[in-house]
Structure 1
């Protein structure tokens, strides 16, 4: 009798929910097909890939340049490096680690910049991104150039989104380990099924921290899933420290362009009432994690078309909030209902 009552309640609940327009994989497919620059879309929930499609002539097995979503990968490597004792922690000053790269008569504030400031884009140095990016990557020494820039803010102050900051982290890891950052990534992240195919290097041979990482869409999804699982690989191996993920997902500053929060290499915003965390790269290279829904989303797009000023990034955010989140909610409700019924059967 109890089983019939509970089952009836669950069925009635699903029927009520079903009176609203239900999101389905087919509707996701149709909506995604409207984006002219979208290349691949993958959705995983509770460890299962529930949607994986390519668009506009792209392929799921084709490596993609994830652009500045690489900053989230750099953050993971720093967290692992701290756990392994390569660097002491987020409060470690960077000047002693890069002493031979400092400008002559350095600004005293350079001694105040820490590893954490680089991760949260609060170094205070003039940005190397945006309009300054071309001149920076055409310089002879990207590390020296980034450190020689004037201060636009105090260390620990307002956010200055700058690929130069994450490149300094790449230089530090390369120096302290004696190994290039791409090699570290393919060693340290391999248990989670993540592999870097290519990573652009600066004139001194240092992989460009925070940009120009090539990996397959599957690796990008695996990276998001690694964070969703609290830093554990699918087999339970702890790859990234769980407390590092917690620290990375704490708001430390805000983007002046979007107002979204920013932690250590991750943006933070609300998606239809759920706390969400995302890595973003130029053109619309995205990895989203919504822990309360056990949801991970990986998106690759045309890397040569701007996503910010074109409005495409905002469209992707709305797509996640208005279509993918409802799909995840409906699916999770069904899974929870099945678990409850099974539990009653056992009793």
Structure 2
């Protein structure tokens, strides 16, 4: 593994790599760091020399971590079960159309809400629904008022708004902010440092805001392989990683997690990756700087790690 990865790096085939941590059996077996321009959302941080403790945008890996935190809150009885109707959890929006009454929290967790949502435009323009959500006076009303365009549960459609709703349910149930609850119940007990990018309203983004060092991201993956280690209910991890919908490429999707034949993964813009390979007791965390690009560095490095 080490020889394959180092050959990729020597040959310049992963120019965007910022960090790589590989755990096997809970032990670090490979760790590499790079150098390059980095961003906190769309704000350039300049050229950064990455190290073990350098925080990095995880972008949409945040969605998968938010789902993990939902399980923590569910285990404490702070949030509703996924089968609960979504609008019932938002009584402050009782005026919203009744055509959404059949949408459940599970539809948000699986990104099968059936609402109009488009994140194909760059994340620098309000033509992108997630950016428009961030710019809206009330992000939750913006999401819940999107027109229903198909039967909920029918088809997977990428939607950062779904993750924002999940994060808000956690914050409402816990009576604190998402980042504070995640810190106190999951991250701090594991010795994990993290920060969250926040929207203009000061709310930490549950769709793309988490910043963390790759070794700490890998530590979260290890906790999942170990059944939650008493912090996350083991039954939630199983439930979260159960295929609920099939994607166009044939892979599966659970509760905010991508599911392959041998792997479970969280993906984020720019090449942010967390892979779990249970059969090999392996965790791979990757950070990279290819935002809004092809993100080839992350895949090339993962291929080298696995020998694919």
Over alpha carbons, which structure has the higher Rg?
A: 1
State how 1:170-319 maps to structure 2 within 5 Å: 170-189=167-186, 190-201=188-199, 203=201, 205-232=202-229, 238-256=230-248, 258-270=249-261, 275-302=262-289, 305-307=291-293, 310=294, 312=296, 316-317=298-299, 319=301
Contact 1:129/1:164 (CA < 8 Å) preserved in 2? no
Alignment-derived partner of residue 78 in structure 1: 70
Alignment-derived partner of residue 53 in structure 1: 32
Contact 1:170/1:206 (CA < 8 Å) preserved in 2? no
Give the Cα separation in 1 of the matches to 2:300 and 2:5.
13
Shift of 1:86: 0.8
Contact 2:60/2:208 (CA < 8 Å) preserved in 1? yes
TM-score, length-scaled by structure 1: 0.77
Give the Cα separation in 2 of the matches to 1:43 and 1:211.
23
Shift of 1:109: 3.1
Give the Cα separation in 2 of the matches to 1:87 and 1:178.
11
Shift of 1:151: 1.3
Unaligned runs of 5+ in 1: 1-23, 233-237, 328-347
Shift of 1:210: 1.7
Contact 2:18/2:50 (CA < 8 Å) preserved in 1? yes
Shift of 1:52: 0.8
Query: What is the count of residue pairs matched by the alignment?
Result: 285
Greater share of residues in helix: 1
Query: What SS does structure 2 have at the residue aligned with 1:280?
Result: strand
1:100-151 per-residue CA deviation (whole Å, 9 max, x = no partner) reads: 135x4x3323222222111111111122533323322221111110111011
Alignment-derived partner of residue 38 in structure 2: none
1:221-257 per-residue CA deviation (whole Å, 9 max, x = no partner) reads: 111111111111xxxxx1111111111111111334x
Structure 1 ranges of 4+ moved more than 6 A: none
Give the RMSD, CA atoms, in angstroms: 2.0
Shift of 1:326: 4.3
TM-score, length-scaled by structure 2: 0.86
Greater share of residues in strand: 2
Shift of 1:179: 0.3
Give the Cα separation in 2 of the matches to 1:34 and 1:166.
33
